[in-house]
Structure 1
Amino acid sequence: MTHETGLSWLSEQCGEMADLLPGELDCLVEQGPVSTMVLIAGRSVTDLSRPAALQLGRDLRRLLDSALPEETIRTAWVGSTDHVFDPCKEEVGPRVWLERIEAAWLSAESRHTPGFVPPAADPVTDDALRAAVLRAISPVSADLALADQMAQQYNPLPLTDLVPSLEQVVIQVCADLGYRLFLRAMKAYSVAIDEHGREAFVALGRRFGHPDGLVEEGLNMR
């Protein structure tokens, strides 16, 4: 069972095409990434615990309510997952894509719980936690940026720089969401960390109330 929650769970699902359900893989081939992500979002209600499923709605609303530029949202998402799942490949803007995912999530939640009322976004805006996430990113920022640049070499739809985009999610949106997307990017690009780095990441995750597995699972240890 996954330890992931919210939008970082969706990122995890999109990170490995082999993990998609047959219907989702067919949808990816026939309709493209946007429709596939909508399908995946719909099963969050059955695949996740209640807190983790509700977190998806919070994360989506946090980004939709933010003043982040479209390209920053897109880069933070695509950098945290397989580049196959770039909504711009279907000429769909990031906010429109988020709205479609939110609608699918709301529909699934309403079927599961009649009269469902979505939770407040409740972003983590504590300055100390924001600073702690930025400190966690700093030691690996060069390695993560290089890995992202290598991945961009053959990308027909170039992205803005990944690390500054993740930092803007932390600063302007939510420290917790920014941290989880950063961790997904570290795992997606297999950026290596040592034991000291792992311990620091886990300790920070605990400050957000996350289980150690959410942080550790999938990290590239050297």
Structure 2
Amino acid sequence: MTRRRERYAELYEDDFGLSALTGMLASATAPDVVRALECAAEVAAGSEGEGAVELGVDIRCLLDSGLPDGTLRAAWLAATHERFDPADFGMDLRTWLTRLADLYPTRPLKRRRVYWPERPPPELAEDELREAVIAEIRVSASLPTTVAEALEALEDITRETDGELGFRLLLRILKTWTVPVGKEQYDRLMELDTKLRCSGPLVYDGLDIQWLPLDPARRDRSGDFGVSALAERFSGYWEPPVREGLARGAAADDSAETPGTAAAMLFEDAFRLLDSPLSADTLTTLWLAVSDRGLDIDQLGMDGRDFLRLVADVSEDRLRDVAPSYTPAVGPVRTALTQPVLEAIGEVTPELATRTVSAHRLGIPGAAAVEALREVVTHADPSLGYRLFLRLLNVLSVPLTVAQYAGYRTLGEQFGYGADHVPDAIEHLVLES
């Protein structure tokens, strides 16, 4: 059968359905039938009782498949880490699944109340999904693991039942048996997760990902990073403790990144500014402008250099925790793009100079912010200066033409930014033609 795909990320924070049940049983201590039924009830109660829908659909997919009991049993035992075998309680697997099906018959999901028109979500063709999942099953089955036979059975289940169920059971088996997953395979699994509109933790929570060595020059994330991303995080009113907020920023690794990447990129930005000839007053003005005075370091008794030293310290603390073998380093500055960035800033300087950051309280003249940006581009790092320039355009809501936006995207591509970096920062500022 082919199920109707829901917006799973809106309903479930991580796993759901039969794969969630097998995960609970895998972590239980010697569960009996009573405990197994209690676990099923917990899964069914998810999302205010709507978890019973996907549980019922999953069970019916297996029962209606016509696959031999041995195939279903092999996948079931692997997914539950052999903690709950129905045979130990006088049942074959179909009898056990039928008992669950009687408790959780398939039924429609309650319709969400929608207050505005929604575009229909893109559909992933079932044949395409099944083939993609089977390809990943084969990658894992080729490894020298104890679950290779079970993965072969899962391939049959995926082909004959439902690609999404096969996807979730694959993830469950990989996690339960700590099967190593290479970065390229992980990226493909996350891509499938996105197409199925599931939550990210469904894939990465508990998965043994073989991360690449930490390298802040990599751009696996698609959005902003470093001090410019930190400024956005602190925009709006922020109360102390400051260090706690910085720690969250340093730990904000993208799901595609090696743990510690956010801290490494943040450290690199902070170090470049600290190592530059920019004055403490200039750095103070810069931070207050790009963060829209969300964190008033001047009112907390800190200047820009004090603040950046704290940023660097917190970043190093994070790196010691998650990447102790990594030595923070600062890569070469791409000076070839200095002039294009200065020209981009110069083009909108007249507009920026007429505006004021935080005009309602302790305002910062746009002209002062622009001068600080120029110093960053010229004396620290044009890439960092460009990212902070995009932030300032956002803070001051500067309207942009289609041509300007296209030029900014091109410059972002030259710096190697992720696909969503520039659009996320300023696309909303583009005037309609």
Output the TM-score relative to the length of structure 2: 0.40
Q: CA deviation at 1:51?
A: 4.4
Q: Is contact 1:166–1:182 with CA below 8 Å preserved after alignment?
A: yes
CA distance in 2, matches of 1:206, 1:138: 21
Match of 1:128 in 2: 128
Residue 6 in structure 1 maps to residue 39 in structure 2: no
CA distance in 2, matches of 1:56, 1:192: 28
Residue 64 in structure 1 maps to residue 66 in structure 2: no
Letter of the aligned partner of 2:107 in structure 1?
Answer: P
CA distance in 2, matches of 1:95, 1:35: 18
Match of 2:200 in 1: 212
Identity among equivalent positions (%) equals 28
Letter of the aligned partner of 2:27 in structure 1?
Answer: E
CA distance in 1, matches of 2:154, 2:80: 13
Please, what is the CA RMSD of the aligned residues?
2.3
Match of 1:113 in 2: none
CA distance in 2, matches of 1:52, 1:45: 4
CA distance in 1, matches of 2:125, 2:158: 8
Residues 167 and 48 from structure 1, CA distance in 2 versus in 1: closer, same or farther, beyond 3 angstroms?
A: same
Letter of the aligned partner of 1:10 in structure 2?
Answer: L
CA distance in 1, matches of 2:52, 2:15: 10
Residues 119 and 93 from structure 1, CA distance in 2 versus in 1: closer, same or farther, beyond 3 angstroms?
A: farther
Q: CA deviation at 1:42?
A: 2.0
Q: Is contact 1:193–1:220 with CA below 8 Å preserved after alignment?
A: yes
CA distance in 2, matches of 1:53, 1:10: 11
Q: CA deviation at 1:102?
A: 2.1
Match 2:159 to one of 154, 168, 171: 171
Match of 1:183 in 2: 171
Q: Is contact 1:38–1:100 with CA below 8 Å preserved after alignment?
A: no
Output the TM-score relative to the length of structure 1: 0.75
Q: Which has the higher contact order (CA 8 A, sep 6+)?
A: 1
1:17-73 deviation per Cα after TM superposition (whole angstroms, max 9, x unaligned): 26xxxxxx7xx3xxx3x3322222123343445543310010011111111111111
Match of 1:112 in 2: none
Match of 2:73 in 1: 74
CA distance in 2, matches of 1:44, 1:189: 21
Unaligned runs of 5+ in 2: 1-11, 110-123, 211-433
Letter of the aligned partner of 2:39 in structure 1?
Answer: I
Structure 2 residue matching 1:197: 3-state secondary structure: helix
CA distance in 1, matches of 2:142, 2:90: 30
Q: CA deviation at 1:7?
A: 0.3
Unaligned runs of 5+ in 1: 19-24, 107-116, 150-160
CA distance in 2, matches of 1:125, 1:166: 20
Taking the TM superposition and a 5 Å limit, the aligned residue runs for 1:1-222 are: 3-17=14-28, 28=31, 32=32, 34-105=33-104, 118-119=107-108, 126-143=126-143, 146-148=145-147, 161-222=149-210
Letter of the aligned partner of 2:153 in structure 1?
Answer: S
Letter of the aligned partner of 1:7 in structure 2?
Answer: L
Q: Is contact 2:13–2:199 with CA below 8 Å preserved after alignment?
A: no
